[in-house]
Structures are given as C-alpha cells and as structure tokens.
C-alpha cells in the first residue's frame, strides 16, 4: 500500500497517510478539522537495500566495461556509413515477393 501526502488549504498542515489505492482521499484535516485537504504529489520512496544478495558479482565486470569502450568507436563508424540501396524490381515487375507453394492433394 502506498503512502500519500496531503496538505490542508486552511491551516497549511502537511501529513502522510498509508492507505490503499482504492481508498478515498482524505478530506478532513486532522489538525484544524476543516474540509480543505488536498492530495499533493510526493517525492516518492527511496530504494533501500536490506539483507543479503547485493554483491559485487551482481554488476558488470571491469573487463566487460573495457571491451565495451573499445567497441564504441566501431559502432559510431557504422552509423556514419550510407544506408544500403533498396532492392530494385526485375523486368517482370516482381518485387521479390514469394509465390504460394503448389498444393499436392
């Protein structure tokens, strides 16, 4: 269940509520009691890594990174080459499309 942030338009009181997505928004301010509360867009939740399972081996190795760096100039050169020409149609007007196979019933 997500945590929603609210702010009262009357007293400017800010608070958070841990509630279901299907639950209705809070309308009454817990501090002043007026019906001027609006849900605000929060900053979201941070990622917290707890427990075991996060190891150095879970990430790319140094040798992989070096090989990727060497490969970058080759990929940039390929982008600079002009595109291959489209296939031209033959004299019959067939553009290389295949014909359906004959049935042997």
pTM to 2 decimal places: 0.42
pLDDT at 8: 96
Reported as a single tens digit per residue, the pLDDT across 57-82 is 666 677 877 887 888 776 666 666 66
How far is the C-alpha of 3 from the C-alpha of 14, rounded, in Å?
13
- DSSP for 51-85, please give it: SS---GGGS--HHHHHHHHHHHHHHHHHHHSPPPP
pLDDT band at 15 (very low <50, low <70, confident <90, very high): very high
Q: Which fold has domain 3-40?
A: Rubrerythrin, domain 2 (2.20.28)
The ranges assigned to domains in the chain are 3-40
């Amino acid at each position: 269940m997500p945590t929603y942030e609210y702010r009262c338009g009357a007293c400017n009181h800010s608070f958070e509520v841990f509630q279901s997505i299907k639950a209705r928004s809070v309308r009454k301010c817990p501090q002043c009691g007026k019906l001027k509360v609006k849900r605000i867009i929060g900053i979201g939740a941070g990622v917290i890594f707890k427990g075991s399972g996060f190891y150095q081996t879970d990430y790319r190795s140094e040798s992989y990174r070096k090989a990727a760096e060497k490969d970058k100039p080759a990929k940039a050169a390929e982008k600079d080459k002009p595109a291959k020409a489209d296939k031209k149609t033959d004299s019959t007007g067939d553009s290389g499309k295949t014909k359906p196979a004959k049935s042997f019933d």
